[in-house]
Amino acid sequence: MRLQVYLARSGYGSRRKCEDLIREGRVRVNSFVATLGMKVTENDKVELDGHIVSKTDKKIYVMLNKPRDYLVSKGDERGRKTVFDLLTMDDDIKKSLFSVGRLDFDTTGLLLFTNDGLFAHKLAHPRGDIEKTYVAKIRGIINRPAMAKLRRGLRVPIKFGHRVGNYKTMPAKVRLMNKGKSFSMLEIVIKEGKKRQIRQMLKTVGFPVISLQRIQIANLSLGRLELGKWRYLKIICLHQCPKLIQVHLYQAVL
């Protein structure tokens, strides 16, 4: 079995994601740095970032209500707090998980973790047609022309690696929830997830973000989950279209 396939079946992301892990030199086989396309068997010792990769048929799904100022990463060279610091579970379980998509450092709300590569791929892939719902508090009283631009889609600067591109966003659903003397509260639903996309969209129409929270992915919502807390999700049924995911939330210790 090719190494990237072995990693994907072990729950470490899509095959393409696993290929990237190998290219980055993060994977070792029998203590040697792995190369893309090499073959492995059940008898080989496979490690990712120094942790042994073990194939498992037990799929795990976790929801976190992410606070501000936490990095969506397993570690940080600058010593910043990461979302994995908040997952107070058995280390072996935690090591098998990866995040489904990302949230910006200063964005709060719903973040999913799993060891199920197929589930993660279907949920995060742009062609999956999956709606992500956010609540944005913005500076100023938004007007109808700005709302119309957000709904139609507009060109915004998005960082791709080390370069910034002029990206045309897909149409979004936008609803005015509330407004005060100097701010507005919006509900924004998008099917993409480019880096700092919503912040750039709102900045482009002249209403910079004060705070941003993701409250829902497909039909998975935060509910009463407190900020900084997590819970297991039991996936009852994953249809070909993840918009139809049916889940039962429960507090448990695996």
Local structure of 250: helix, strand or coil: strand
Contact 66, 84 (CB under 8 A): no
| Beta strands per DSSP E along 75-208 | 98-100, 108-114, 132-139, 155-160, 163-168, 173-179, 183-190
Catalytic residue among 104, 106, 116, 129: 104
Instruction: Find how far residue 170's CA is from the centre of its chain.
Output: 19
Measure the CA–CA gap between 22 and 34, rounded to whole angstroms: 6
The amino acid present at 89, given as its one-letter code, is M
For residue 44, indicate whether it is catalytic.
no
Contact 190, 126 (CB under 8 A): no
Number of neighbours of residue 216 by Cβ within 10 angstroms: 18
Q: What are the angstrom distances between the C-alpha of 180 and each of 55, 137, 142, 185, 186?
A: 53, 10, 11, 9, 12
**Catalytic residue annotation:** 104
